[in-house]
Structure 1
Amino acid sequence: MPFTPFHLGPALLLSGLAPRRLDLPTLLVASVVIDVRAALVVFGPLGGPVHGPLTTFLGATVVATLVAGAALSLPARLGGLADRVRPDATVGTAAVAAGALAGAWSHVLLDAALYHDVAPFFPLAGNPFLVDAFGLVYGACVAAGLAGAVLLAARYARSARTDTS
């Protein structure tokens, strides 16, 4: 997607549906970090196709592994910042790993739905997810983001009431 923030919509919804199973900060980072390479292609320093090796399930799995490793190795001070956006104060390794994988793979699925140059199952050719319906996919991303924000807001409100009781 040329506008990376659209990837945050499905990430928010996924986290809202499974907040204890998917770590929100890790999920959000993993859902957009893949576009760093695409931005480097679009804006100059890298050559090649915009949707390259990271926009495959294999490449996204490597990215997810790196994101999860980075999230799990954050110093306590930085980890405390991430805790502020988590609906639940404690998060385990499995939730961080699952969040990273869900974020990275959702990125591949969204890009595969829109772009002819995405080969999600590389080294196999083809893209079975291509729908080529930009308005539909962007609209679904916005709707998912709104629904996810409502779910997370309700969870935060419940958590705040529990903390003050």
Structure 2
Amino acid sequence: MPFTPFHMGAGLALKAVAGRHFSVLTFGIAQVAMDIEPLVGMLRGAAVLHGPTHTYLGAVPIALATAVLAPWPCRPLLKRWNQEVTHYRAPWLAEDERWKPRTVLLSALAGTWSHVLLD
């Protein structure tokens, strides 16, 4: 089912294990990006909602696009994100304000591939 919040559970588990080497924000954006195809399918009344982008190979371009584009909308949100997770006593969810390209790329790949696995 598209737009399910259950996909983020995998991201939170990965964040708990990988810590600062994983971006839960990038993971979440990758999850949303993966659901663009099903959204378009639902709006068009398509019989098949999970098409080519919901394969491991098809998820790679979405992960690459996410890795390139995610830092821009996330940079303004990052300070607020870190304040919120600290306030709610979940500092393990805090993100480094200087994102590393490798972290962003691996988080995006984890987001798209886990999405394919869970769908």
TM-score range, shorter chain: 0.7 to 0.9
CA contact (8 A) 2:23 2:95 kept: no
Structure 1 letter corresponding to 2:103: A
Is the aligned partner of 1:104 residue 2:112?
Answer: yes
1:83/1:99 Cα in 2 relative to 1: closer, same or farther (>3 Å)? farther
CA contact (8 A) 1:61 1:101 kept: yes
Aligned to 1:69: 68
Aligned residues: 107
Structure 1 letter corresponding to 2:51: G
Aligned to 1:79: 75
CA contact (8 A) 2:59 2:112 kept: yes
Aligned to 2:33: 33
Q: TM-score, normalised by structure 2?
A: 0.77
RMSD between superposed Cα atoms in Å: 2.0
CA contact (8 A) 1:41 1:49 kept: yes
Deviation, structure 1 residue 58: 1.0
Overall identity of the aligned pairs, in %:
38
Max Rg structure: 1
1:51/1:88 Cα in 2 relative to 1: closer, same or farther (>3 Å)? closer
CA distance in 1, matches of 2:109, 2:80: 22
Aligned to 1:93: 101
SS of 1:98's partner is helix
Structure 1 letter corresponding to 2:6: F
Which residues of structure 2 form unaligned runs of 5+?
83-93
CA contact (8 A) 2:7 2:31 kept: yes
1:15/1:46 Cα in 2 relative to 1: closer, same or farther (>3 Å)? farther
Which residues of structure 1 form unaligned runs of 5+?
112-165
Structure 2 letter corresponding to 1:82: L
Q: TM-score, normalised by structure 1?
A: 0.58
CA distance in 2, matches of 1:46, 1:99: 32
More helix by share: 2
